[in-house]
Structure 1
């Protein structure tokens, strides 16, 4: 089957659009149903809307007073509370300007006359009364809305905290160790009753559902299920045709990612769709009882997980197809990792089904712990065996002096991480934290699939958008013709779009990573709002876990800022017409903004509003005034240098006795690289208050002034023509302003001429000066022009001897006088 890149790209992007549309419809369908079920808010007055919102808040608050609220119930409460909070915020936004307008009208009417003799028109009095009533109603409604908004926000925080507490309690619940004999004795004792419960479950289903169902319905279901089973193998063979790849092909990175994404979809589609169809048939025929529906749903989810992991692993590792592999590893390692992925996914899916079955039959606690423990043990053993094989393969490659690849840079840390995970899984079984081990095994499958999908989508976002926006493509030609964009502008648009997609993918992935830990997108948005607009009621309680999460959020913010800074510096800004100094200012300012936003995000999660941060800053101002004055001065000076741009990165400056190029403008100091390749660190305050010579402040044009001294025999006109001709012949000398020669001195037996010319770049001035001097000297020698001699020196050997004798006689006379 011939593989051409455009077809795979179109298929992959079409599949992406379909998936996005399905997710969009799935996400908004329940919301639309909820909105349809509620009365239209627009038909209610503000007070009526507030009463309805208060009823919802009071109902949820009363329900939260119970101690036995499950996580799913809390999640439903949060879903009910979010629209209420949005409606309250909308009310506050709508009522605030109306209240200000009513206050302005009252101010124009003025206060009531206090003098009894003063009279006022009746219509003015009536208008004031109406405006006062309107103002009072709006004020009371706005205050109620604000109080209710605070109550709803506190309840949202309480729901999030309780969800995290429930999650921690369920995951960190300690049970018996897998090596405990009591666990296996109790499980063996409960095994007969658990088997009988499974048998009763099957008999109940057969007698209660199948035995009472009409024969024609059972026949129809059997025919449909048989048809689906028979269709599985032809569909599987058909998908293999879509996954064929040439072994001798040399695909680009875009073709690898696009075809890998397509392979993942095709591999996942057939088993998942057939399983969904089969369980859909059973549900339509009402052949699944209430107790069997969770089991059927877990089997359907398990098939989806296994097929998805198989497709993603095949897309990334391409076992047996090294030319189509996205990461550089050996064939044996790729095959072992692919088998490990399928093994772990199958084990996790199978034991999740067994866990749901245990819940359905109300199995005893020792049985549930033993089942989950065995699943965790199998995953740990599979990981250890695969890592041992990979270690042996890498060792054999090292002994055979195999060529080093880029994979060696990350394979070592990846193997160490794998051994650490396997060790942690074993430790959870030995210490009795089986629930934690089971959660970690699910996270292994979840995060592996998520990061593989993110890797594929990042490549598609980078390479795909760049390929689509090439001037030779249809889309690129459309932009060039209709919008009149140049090639550079088209490249910038592609880079910006791919960067936006990367940011969206990273943010989405971060939210999906935090989702199993009961940190949702609503909590993150609330954290950001609390950081910038929130206020606290009462004292703020800070725990170690809250501080740890805040530190992690701050580190993630800094990491994203550094990544975006690098993207700006390496990818986007080089495609602009901005000079190096302005690019550095933009990158540095973006870094400062990112640090502030990361700090605000972490502070918001801690519950610190800007008001409290201001208090802390006021307390620190005393210390700043005494000990950090120079640091603050250098920091402010650095900001002024960045935005005033009197000194830019790449400028040639002279500071005191130091001279060189500006390489970096940091928070505290500026780095200057001298011509001797030494780095000079200059505090920013010195650059602000001291005298700095900038050779390239206005432009990079440089002036050269060469004094040439010759004897009186030279002709001045000929010297001028010769020097101007030599300057004009040099490539670096500018034609405009044209070179000129000045007759600057005429003294004694010599004449001095000054050759003045300009170069387009001051950095080439020294080299150009040297070239001109070489050429001038050669012409002088060639034309026989005598260079003016230096000052005359008189030398006489006899005179030198007489002077030495006189000095010796004087020294002897001085010594005799001292001894006398």
Structure 2
């Protein structure tokens, strides 16, 4: 039972004091000891032989095996360090041998001098490699022995867990349990009596009586009123203060509900110790009282924070007030059961209780713990059945809570049943770890809520619930959950040695060819690459904002230079990071070559677009801001990346065009070299108009426009004689073709106005209709029409047809599909 209390104390220390603190001995294995590379292999052989004999006999206790394992772990770390012995010299020798050229094939010879030199270098290489090879072999042996010891200890734990003990309902065992308690109590009372009967003991008691009374008074005040004071102060801070961080300060202040009562227990123990009457047994109990009290006070505080209905930023459970009060009561009950279990385990060690006594005395606590688990499980299931309106995240959270509630009910039923049968270890395992697991999960929920409140305070936001859904609080909550995994493993029976073994293997890394890659290598790679990436972005920003704007390079060229520099910088940063981390990828050359074939087929399109993007950045046939047309898409180039180009059309839509289409397809760039472009307007006038006058008016209109270029000047072409009009064309070269559509509109308005002033008529389309054989129509009309005689032939009828819209053919200009001034970006 004392182990459970220690585990719970470890949970408290991890949460309240140092969540990232490693278990004892973990830091010692995280880095190899700095020592001489020359190892005493004789001592290693003795230790390894002793470990093999202990495993073969199987008679050593778990404590002895654990001590032996600790020595093996120390040697394994030293042997791992020794594997790098003479590494620099070995690399030099290999380079020297490679400089001699490849060894001659079988049956051929090489010059005697080179052959002798090669043999000497190979001999030196073998001598240099011998210590490292011996260290590798010894390291494998140590690792195997450690695995065997762990397997033996786990097997013993499993067999002990499934061991059937005495029946607790046997009346004979009841008497043994009562007798064990009575003897232990009598032994402690005899110690106190013997200490009081000695003159020195009474003198010490009288001398320290004022201190004892003072400590007892302070302890009584803190135990009786300390928790109440902190509750009132925390509630007052929440309800009366209007500061933004009141929930954060109230949460911190609520820890006083643990600190003050625990301090009262410490003073109480100090007062009892000051009497000088405590013997060895009483001293052990007194030493455990603060830890047991800390356990109970923490359980009470945790229940009050998890199932709080006030004095918090938001409730973690949406239960009625009576169910929340019940849950807080059950949380205190669980803490009390854990405390009694720890105290019973301590008394069992002090009094050396027999198995029958331990089974009988432990069953009531298992039953009480099981009942509490069932009640808490029912409360959790009640929460799972609540579906809040307008909240899409709670239902999944409630389903998880419901699963936890079902598991708690199952453990609460199974634990007492196994305990009643006689499986004491299994009953304890199915009762106390679930209680501690619920406490750990509740602590995680409280910490995550506190992180949300703290984040809301830091960003100046009043709504802590919405702030808790931000990325940073979520990541911190995930990190807290990961840090809680080792504590959860300890709760469910894992040994500290198991955690240190996992950490040791993690820090050792893994072998990649002839190179061993460890987390330190990855950290080095990440740091160096981050520095290189940051410098690359810094240089890019400097060029983009300071250097390149002062040059004559066009914006597209500036973008190409900045982008190309970014790709080169990232590549160099990755290369330097790999080299700095000492990662040798030469052994992956064959694998990479094989993978490149498959990647080449599978990512052919991606590679093609990537290469096309590089070509676009180097040759720059198009640049950012160019007006282009490709594959039926016309618009302005907004961005050119290594895979695709983003074009914004004149409808304000973005079109992603693969770079391969820009390289292999037909691309029209209207503004690549300059912005000059030509506008062609087709105009028709009525027959009989003065053609020279029309030509003069059109030329004047074109020359008068401010965007029309003087050289070449606007020109008028008399195209010919149409079916309805005399056809002319006004051709105007503009300084900026981006305004082509607006210029066309202005010129048409001016042509309509000037033609009206000059008396030039714009023609209408006309059609003459002649009716042949009108007598046939008379016969179709019937006898009445025939009696009236033949109708005179109708005169020719002329119908006016709707005037066609003005022609909008731009000739070879780009305005047929719209332009930037049609509403799209320029």
Judge same fold: TM > 0.5, yes or no.
yes
Once the two structures are superposed, the pairs formed by residues 299-338 of structure 1 within 5 Å of their partners are 299-315=289-305, 318-321=308-311, 324-325=313-314, 327=316, 329=318, 332=321, 338=328
Paired with 1:652 and 1:345, the residues of 2 have a C-alpha distance of: 75
* Whole-angstrom CA distance in 1 between matches of 2:668 and 2:203: 94
| Offset, 1:193 | 1.2
2:79 counterpart of 1:91? no
For 1:141 and 1:134, how far apart are their aligned partners in 2? 12
| TM-score for the superposition, normalised by structure 2 | 0.56
Alignment partner of 1:344 is 2:334: yes
**Residue 508 of structure 1 aligns with which residue?**
483
Q: Tell me the CA shift for residue 185 of structure 1.
A: 2.8
Is 1:523 aligned to residue 502 of structure 2? yes
Q: Judging changes above 3 Å, is the alpha-carbon distance between structure 1 residues 308 and 509 closer, same or farther for their aligned structure 2 residues?
A: same
Contact 1:74 1:159 in 2 (8 A): yes
Match of residue 408, structure 2, among 402, 422, 431: 422
Larger radius of gyration: 2
Contact 1:741 1:755 in 2 (8 A): no
Match of 1:455 among 441, 448, 453: 448
- Counterpart-to-counterpart distance in 2, 1:164 and 1:209: 42
> C-alpha displacement at 1:378, in angstroms?
1.8
* C-alpha distance 456-497 of structure 1, shift in aligned 2 (>3 A): closer
Q: Distance in 2 between matches of 1:645 and 1:190?
A: 90
Aligned CA distance change for structure 1 residues 438 and 751 (closer, same or farther; 3 Å): same
Contact 1:661–1:674 under 8 Å retained in 2 = yes
Q: Runs of 5+ in structure 1 lacking a partner?
A: 1-14, 110-117, 120-124, 177-181, 469-494, 537-560, 562-567, 594-609, 726-737, 760-767, 806-820
| CA displacement at 1:194 relative to structure 2 | 0.1
Question: Within the alignment, does 1:193 sit opposite 2:176 as a pair?
Answer: yes
2:189 aligned partner: 206
Tell me how far apart the structure 1 counterparts of residues 435 and 71 of structure 2 sit (CA, whole Å): 29
Q: Distance in 1 between matches of 2:477 and 2:67?
A: 32
Matches within 5 A, 1:381-396: 381-387=374-380, 390=383, 394=386
For residues 136 and 155 of structure 2, the distance between their equivalents in structure 1, rounded to whole angstroms, comes to 29
Greater shift, 653-662 or 292-301, is seen at 653-662
Q: How does 1:779-818 map to 2 (within 5 A)?
A: 780=750, 795-798=767-770
Equivalent position to 2:398, from 394, 405, 412: 412
CA distance in 2, matches of 1:658, 1:413: 51
- Structure 1 residues 339 and 430 mapped into 2: Cα distance closer, same or farther (>3 Å)? closer
Check 1:236–1:142 CA distance in 2 against 1; reply closer, same or farther (3 A cut): same
Answer with 454-463 or 508-517: which moved more. Answer: 454-463
SS of structure 1 residue aligned to 2:175:
helix
Shift of the 321–532 alpha-carbon distance from structure 1 to 2, 3 Å rule, reads: same
Q: 1:335 to 1:679 in 2, by over 3 A?
A: farther
- Aligned counterparts, 1:653-732, within 5 A: 707=679, 709=681, 711=683, 715=698, 719=702, 722=705, 724=707
Q: Choose the corresponding residue for 2:430, options 408, 430, 437.
A: 437
2-structure distance, mates of 1:670, 1:162:
64
Q: Deviations over 1:298-354 (max 9, x none)?
A: 6543422332344445556653235x3375857737655544543433333433434
Distance of 1:422 and 1:523 partners within structure 2 = 29
Q: Distance in 2 between matches of 1:375 and 1:652?
A: 80
The verdict on how the C-alpha distance between 1:135 and 1:792 changes in structure 2, with shifts beyond 3 A counting, is same
Return the offset for 1:441. 1.7
Cα 1:720–1:535 change in 2 (3 A) is: same
Q: Is the 8 A contact 1:376 1:425 kept in 2?
A: no
- The gaps in structure 2 that reach 5 residues or longer are 1-12, 101-111, 419-425, 462-469, 516-525, 527-532, 545-558, 575-584, 684-693, 720-727, 778-826
Deviations 1:268-302 (A, max 9, x none): 21233333454566678887776677766665434
Change (3 A) 1:47 1:741: same
Q: Is the 8 A contact 1:661 1:672 kept in 2?
A: yes
* Equivalent residue in structure 1 for 2:354, among 362, 384, 401: 362
Structure-to-structure mapping, 1:18-37, within 5 angstroms: 19-20=17-18
Work out whether residues 681 and 731 of structure 2, in 8 Å CA contact, stay in contact via their aligned partners in 1.
yes
The residue that corresponds to 1:246 in the other structure is 238
| Cα distance in 1, alignment partners of residues 740 and 43 from structure 2 | 85
Check the 8 A contact 1:379/1:441 in 2, yes or no: no
- On the 8 A contact 1:662/1:671 being kept in 2, the answer is yes
Q: Secondary structure at the match of 1:93?
A: coil
Pick from 207, 212, 215 the counterpart of residue 202 of structure 2. 215
Q: 2:729 aligns with which of 714, 725, 750?
A: 750
Query: 1: CA distance between counterparts of 2:124 and 2:483?
Result: 46
Distance 1:103 1:743 in 2: 80
| Per-residue deviation, residues 765-797 of structure 1 (Å, max 9, x unmatched) | xxx998x489748965995679x9999966332
Identify which range, 199-208 or 285-294, moves more after superposition: 285-294
How much is the aligned-residue C-alpha RMSD, in angstroms? 6.9
